[in-house]
Amino acid sequence: LSTNFDNQTYIDSPLQNLSMLRDALDGSISLPGVSNSNETLMAVFLGVASDKTVPISPDAVTAVSTILGAPVSPTEAARLAADAEAVRIAVLAGHG
């Protein structure tokens, strides 16, 4: 993503990404033709929805997942935060 940003297709709308994150969190997401794991999709949705200059913390993941009605465990929050942070950094680097 960071090195091939202009050739990637993704949804740039934070609200749409949060909506898809909500569906991924509760298991109701259906994206025909997409073969990524649910964990990868959640990281992408959160990383793309986030402010590109503010790091994603486990506390932020806990807050967002709770607001979306599907709170995650502390372990899941830490894992998702790390993965989403990697996406956020890649988007920031690729976006320039």
Q: What is the pLDDT of residues 11-47, one digit of tens each?
A: 778 999 999 999 999 999 999 999 999 999 999 999 9
What pLDDT is recorded for position 93?
84
What pLDDT is recorded for position 12?
79
Question: How far is it, in rounded angstroms, from Cα 24 to Cα 40?
Answer: 10
**What's the whole-number mean pLDDT along residues 47-75?**
96
Q: Which of 28, 37, 10 is nearest to 69 (CA)?
A: 28
The one-character DSSP state at 50 is: S
What pLDDT is recorded for position 1?
61
Name the pTM for this structure: 0.90
Question: Residue 4: pLDDT above 90?
Answer: no
